[in-house]
Amino acid sequence: MRVILAKSAGFCYGVERAVELAKKTAAECGGCVMLGDLIHNTHVIAELEDLGVRKAAVPQDVREGETVVLRSHGERREVVAALEARNIHCVSAACPNVQRIQSLVAQAEAEGRQSIIIGEPHHPEILGVASYCSHPLIFSGPEDVWAWLAEDSGRREVPVTVVAQTTCIRELFETSAKILKKECTNSKIFDTICNATHKRQSEAAFIAGQVDAMVVVGDRKSANTKHLTEICIERCPRVLQIEKADELSPDFFNGCSVAGLTAGASTPAGIIKEVYATMSEEIKTAENGEESFEELLNQSFKTLNTGEKVTGIVTAIGPTEVQVDVGAKQAAYIKSSELSDDPNVKPEEILKVGDEIEAYIVRVNDVEGFAELSKKRLDAVKVWENIEQAVEDKTVMEGIVTEVNKGGIVVSVKGVRVFVPASQSGMPRGADLETMVKSKVQLRVTEVNRARRRVVGSIRSVADEARKAAQEEVWNSIEVGKHYTGTVKSMTAYGVFVDIGGVDGMVHISELSWSRIKTPAEVCKVGDTLEVYVISFDPEKHKISLGVKDRSVNPWDMFMSKYHVGDVATVRIVKLMTFGAFAEVVPGVDGLIHISQIADRRIEKPGDVLSEGQEVDAEIIAVDEEKKKISLSIRALLAPAAEENAPVDAE
């Protein structure tokens, strides 16, 4: 077994410069003060304190006349100003790369540009950089960028200057910068990630992909060490982050043929050398240690370690768990809740005794002799792999909308949370996204950051693609008279627009009903389903005229078959004119009640007696079949009553 040591492991130029500057200042001044941790490494801090570098937790702890060394991450501008105002000499140990970022945001401020910083919001470096402009925006990654853009479309017109934390994961910055460059009309992008950081991360990723176990050395507060660990976990099944050599154990290297070692930018060479030597000794112990009969017997069983993948055989299926033989001394089982991301699925529906199953080891209890497994989590890892591949292949995936959050919605795709910005949800601007919760949607994954467990997707792109295909299908097959089942999309005073499968057609108000109507709302509303047919279409102008009226039914023929002159009909007043009133006899056929035929007395206007929408009885007194006109009379029905009440002439 061998150990591969990363060539880039350990102090970067900025950290080494800060440590040497602190030592030199302490020697020249007979001691000095460091404000906070000069670098993120407790062992180096302790060494500096032994050399006379006193640590002050807050600026108020620095005494007037003292010399203070400002940390490598940089310090807030207002803190420096306050110290200097108290006659305190400040020596800046800020990394030159950090100083460059501070200058960039200060320049952006002077130019009236919005500064955007990609990094960890509460990291000292970010807090220091942010102090060089009035209203900085700090984004952890692309999800925050999308949320900010979705809140206000006007933000795309704002001139922005984009920088990154020196230790930012490159994929995180590049994805965020790509969005801002595409969406914002005036953007300046500065790649301020330290070259040493990028080199260290790339080398760690490469080594982690070649080894069975990976050790990352660095302070647990160190951002770049944490990022190294995240990168290694993606590529190596067994990763251990430590601060010093005594945290190593031979058990960690059991079964390994090759191990890797890297370290964060704040880790001194002495600690790395000690860890490297200890790893070599631990490996020898793991390989060559004398073993008792009991140990040899135990080794005949498979060793189970939390976080590893294991393959076993289903031996029993119960209502709450599935028992699995994984060839180990521990009894292994999978809870029903850890079988699938579908909470309604039953174990017996997806497994049977004798099936081979792969799962992750969630917990090992050697005292009680059991191991808890999870198939769901292993499936989730495979889903991540599928999602990463889906980005390259532009594959359409399916999921369930689980919640609405700031700037968009969250879709569960086989257990993985996919953030969909509001602008990519397929819903109109300002629409209530809560209506999408629990609905099944199709989406295309646009960005993946597995280290941050962040995925961004677009429902709109899939919907637009489907709509485009549907539109092509409609235009390729459309013809006059063809019938469609459509959905009312919008309404105007003169008609409605109906979606007939990706293409909107117009139904004029006159084509909505045989009856005379004032507004489309009298017969339909948005969302209604309508049976329509094509009256005409223009492919070049992309216009379609639709109708709803059943042309097989002729309202005039219906009237002629039902009524004759002298018949009495119950009619509905549809329009009042100065000379009379039009009344609907049957849907699509109106008759005129002349003002002289409305009452048995003289009236000034029809509205004195009648109102629109009123139903009255009227006699059909004339029919012009050629001109399809009907004359009606209410007075004709009132005349007999008037005659009965007339006085009798005396003889």
Q: What is the pLDDT of residues 345-396, one digit of tens each?
A: 888 888 888 888 888 888 888 767 788 898 887 887 777 788 888 888 888 9
Asked if 102 and 167 sit in the same domain, the reply is yes
pLDDT at 295: 47
The SS3 assignment for 100 reads: helix
Q: Report helix, strand and coil shares of the chain as percent, to nearest 5.
A: 35, 30, 35
pLDDT value at 648 more than 70: no
Look at the alpha carbons of 307, 309, 313, 319 in this order and tell me if their dihedral is positive or negative: positive
pLDDT at 553: 67
CATH number at residue 242: 3.40.1010.20
Q: How far apart are CA 94 and CA 88, in angstroms?
A: 17
pLDDT at 606: 93
Asked if 32 and 63 sit in the same domain, the reply is yes
pLDDT tens profile 449-503:
876 778 899 999 888 888 888 888 888 888 888 888 889 988 898 899 999 887 8
**Looking at the domain assignment, is residue 575 inside a domain?**
yes
**Looking at the domain assignment, is residue 251 inside a domain?**
yes
What's the structural domain count of the chain? Answer: 7
Burial 414-424 (b: 16+ CB within 10 A, else e): bbbbbbbbbbb
Query: Which range is least confidently modeled, 297-311, 351-365, 555-569?
Result: 297-311
Q: Contact 464/443 with Cβ under 8 angstroms?
A: no
**Looking at the domain assignment, is residue 277 inside a domain?**
yes
Q: Which residue has the higher pLDDT, 550 or 579?
A: 579
- Mean pLDDT, to the nearest integer, of 21-32? 88
39, 61, 92 — which closes off a domain? 92
pLDDT at 293: 40
The percent of residues above 70 in pLDDT, for the chain, comes to 93
**Looking at the domain assignment, is residue 110 inside a domain?**
yes
158, 175, 193 — which closes off a domain? 193
pLDDT value at 113 more than 60: yes
Asked if 102 and 185 sit in the same domain, the reply is yes
DSSP strand E in 318-381: where?
Answer: 321-325, 331-335, 356-365, 370-374
Helix axes 13-29, 42-50, angle to 10 degrees: 20
Q: How far apart are CA 388 and CA 376, in angstroms?
A: 18
Q: Which two tokens stand for residue 379?
A: 């499936």
Q: Contact 141/452 with Cβ under 8 angstroms?
A: yes
**Looking at the domain assignment, is residue 636 inside a domain?**
yes
pLDDT value at 638 more than 90: no
For residue 201, which of 177, 175, 172 has the smallest C-alpha distance? 172
For residue 131, which of 164, 101, 159, 169 has the smallest C-alpha distance? 101
Please report which helix (H) or strand (E) contains residue 642, including its range.
helix 635-644
- Mean pLDDT, to the nearest integer, of 322-332? 83
CA 478 to the chain's CA centroid: 37
pLDDT value at 639 more than 70: no
Asked if 334 and 408 sit in the same domain, the reply is no
Question: Range of 153's domain?
Answer: 96-193
pTM for the model stands at 0.39
- Mean pLDDT, to the nearest integer, of 588-613? 90
Asked if 305 and 219 sit in the same domain, the reply is no
547, 565, 594 — which closes off a domain? 547
**Looking at the domain assignment, is residue 238 inside a domain?**
yes
Asked if 570 and 525 sit in the same domain, the reply is no
Question: Around Cβ 615, how many Cβ atoms within 10 Å?
Answer: 10
pLDDT at 240: 92
Q: What are phi and psi of 315, to 5 degrees?
A: -110, -25
The CA distances from residue 57 to 17, 18, 35, in Å, are 22, 18, 6
Asked if 152 and 131 sit in the same domain, the reply is yes
pLDDT value at 288 more than 70: no
pLDDT value at 435 more than 60: yes
pLDDT at 633: 93
CATH number at residue 83: 3.40.50.11270
Asked if 571 and 525 sit in the same domain, the reply is no
pLDDT at 649: 45
DSSP strand E in 406-465: where?
Answer: 408-413, 416-421, 440-449, 454-458
Order of all β-strands in the sheet with 213-217: 2-5, 258-263, 213-217, 239-242
Asked if 256 and 307 sit in the same domain, the reply is no
Question: Around Cβ 298, how many Cβ atoms within 10 Å?
Answer: 13
Asked if 201 and 266 sit in the same domain, the reply is yes
**Looking at the domain assignment, is residue 470 inside a domain?**
no
CATH number at residue 349: 2.40.50.140
Query: Which range is least confidently modeled, 104-113, 130-139, 289-298?
Result: 289-298
- Mean pLDDT, to the nearest integer, of 615-621? 92
For residue 250, which of 300, 289, 290 has the smallest C-alpha distance? 289
pLDDT value at 92 more than 80: yes
pLDDT tens profile 171-210:
889 999 999 999 998 999 999 988 777 788 888 899 998 8
**Looking at the domain assignment, is residue 438 inside a domain?**
yes
Q: pLDDT band for position 594 (50/70/90)? A: very high
Question: Around Cβ 589, how many Cβ atoms within 10 Å?
Answer: 20
Tell me what the pLDDT averaged over the chain comes to.
85
pLDDT value at 116 more than 90: yes
Paired with 581 in beta bridges are: 576, 593
Asked if 634 and 604 sit in the same domain, the reply is yes
Residues forming the active site:
125
Asked if 528 and 570 sit in the same domain, the reply is no
pLDDT at 640: 57
Q: How far apart are CA 254 and CA 213, in angstroms?
A: 9
